[in-house]
């Protein structure tokens, strides 16, 4: 069985006075950056990025990092943290983001978490499931199978034994696919099942999570336009520069959407038109996986990116609420998920139906 624990510190706020954070989340290309900046400016806050790709230096265009002007308008944290060949995972993110939240709390600034990496947000707000289950021999064998047969073959195997994890993971996410298969082979149980059982007695922060969504056709059009804009802005040159600097296609960072497609095109394995077509397709599929992840969180309040005034009003009301009393009366509890009148069942079902 797995074990889980959360580190505490003498500087942690007292119970009943947990730091409050605002989260702006949702699929890619839904306008999270603009909404987060507008909200942070209105609240006197600062932004903590929750994007697993924006932590990498030198990877700017393909990760849709906030521009220099946007970062000058509002302070951003956890962007450009490591080089592309350095390891960075949800555990490291949670530790650094937690420190940023506490620092902002002490300075009286509102932490606004902005991003689409659901695992990072979950790790910050609820901690990470940590399993002791593992076998180095199994791990080495699976890694060898990935080398010889390809990771997509192992992804298909994962889909048979743990369809929930397989649907959440990109077929090229080698590390997580191997880990999920390792856990299943060692324990006979899916890692997604362990994740569902994982709970913390008390979350370190009190959070208002606001998810942004768009109609499917609008979202897909925005994704296509974003890809075209990235190419026009110099994505090819950015990837060539990374490759020339020694950051090869085998790196986890270089296997991400946009970079892997462009690297394959540069290497001559596919043509430019094919690279663009598959990049747009894979980005749409990625957006669907993000939507599925966020939809599973009943605490998320859903809205649209053009409703900034409504989102700001909701955030202000949340920040002004009285914290729970010593008996635990939840006067500052999370708002109901229908507070903005937006439910996404139909939208998500339509996204799932799109291949």
CA angle 212, 220, 27 (to 5 degrees): 30
- Evaluate whether 210 touches 24 at the Cβ level (below 8 Å): yes
- Evaluate whether 40 touches 46 at the Cβ level (below 8 Å): yes
Q: Could you give the CA distance from residue 89 to residue 84 in angstroms, rounded to a whole number?
A: 13
Structure tokens given for 249: 């296609």
- Encode pLDDT of 189-211 as tens digits: 888 777 666 554 356 899 999 99
- Evaluate whether 112 touches 46 at the Cβ level (below 8 Å): yes
Residues 6+ apart with CB under 8 A from 353: none
Q: Could you give the CA distance from residue 144 to residue 201 in angstroms, rounded to a whole number?
A: 39
- Evaluate whether 51 touches 253 at the Cβ level (below 8 Å): no
Structure tokens given for 50: 């929750």
CA angle 321, 324, 327 (to 5 degrees): 155
What is the pLDDT tens value at each position of the chain, 355 positions in all? 333 333 333 344 434 578 999 999 999 999 999 999 999 999 999 999 999 999 999 999 999 999 999 999 999 999 999 999 999 999 999 999 999 999 999 999 999 999 999 999 999 998 876 665 678 888 889 999 998 888 989 999 999 999 988 887 878 888 889 989 988 888 888 887 776 665 543 568 999 999 999 999 999 999 999 999 999 999 999 999 999 999 999 999 999 999 999 999 999 999 999 999 999 999 999 999 999 999 999 999 999 999 999 999 999 999 998 665 434 443 334 443 333 433 333 333 443 444 4
Cα separation of the two ends of the chain: 36
Among 218, 336, 345, which residue's Cα sits nearest to residue 291? 345
Domains annotated for the chain, with CATH where assigned, are: 20-129+198-353 (3.40.50.300), 136-197 (1.10.20.140)
76: left (phi over 0), alpha (psi -120 to 50) or beta: beta
Among 143, 121, 129, 126, which residue's Cα sits nearest to residue 189? 129
């Amino acid at each position: 069985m797995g074990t889980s624990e959360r580190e505490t510190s003498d500087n942690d706020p007292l119970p009943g006075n947990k730091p409050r954070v605002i989260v702006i989340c949702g699929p890619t290309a839904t306008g999270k950056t603009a909404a987060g900046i507008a909200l942070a400016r209105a609240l006197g806050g600062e932004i903590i990025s929750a994007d697993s790709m924006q932590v990498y230096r030198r990877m700017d265009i393909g990760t849709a990092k906030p521009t220099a002007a946007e970062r000058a308008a509002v302070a951003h944290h956890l962007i450009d943290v490591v080089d592309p060949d350095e390891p960075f995972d949800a555990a490291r993110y949670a530790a650094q983001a937690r420190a940023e939240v506490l620092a902002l709390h002490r300075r009286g600034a509102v932490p606004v978490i902005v991003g689409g990496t659901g695992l990072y947000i979950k790790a910050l707000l609820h901690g990470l499931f940590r399993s002791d289950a593992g076998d180095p021999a199994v791990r080495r064998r699976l890694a060898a199978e990935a080398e010889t047969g390809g990771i997509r073959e192992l992804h298909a195997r994962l889909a048979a034994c743990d369809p929930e994890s397989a649907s959440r993971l990109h077929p090229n996410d080698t590390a997580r696919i191997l880990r999920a298969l390792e856990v299943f082979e060692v324990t006979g149980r899916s890692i997604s099942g362990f994740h569902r059982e994982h709970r913390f007695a008390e979350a370190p922060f009190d959070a208002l999570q606001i998810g942004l969504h768009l109609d499917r056709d609008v979202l897909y059009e925005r994704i296509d336009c974003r890809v075209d804009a990235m190419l026009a802005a110099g994505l090819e040159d950015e990837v060539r520069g990374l490759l020339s600097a020694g950051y090869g296609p085998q790196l986890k960072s270089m296997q991400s959407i946009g970079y892997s497609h462009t690297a394959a095109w540069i290497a001559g394995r596919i043509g430019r038109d094919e690279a663009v077509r598959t990049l747009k397709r894979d980005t749409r599929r990625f957006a669907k996986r993000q939507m599925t992840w966020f939809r599973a969180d009943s605490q998320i309040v859903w809205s649209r990116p053009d409703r900034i005034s409504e989102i700001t009003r909701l955030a202000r009301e949340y920040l002004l609420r009285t914290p729970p009393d010593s008996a635990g009366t939840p006067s500052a509890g999370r708002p109901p998920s229908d507070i903005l009148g937006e439910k996404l069942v139909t939208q998500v079902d339509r996204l799932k139906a799109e291949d």
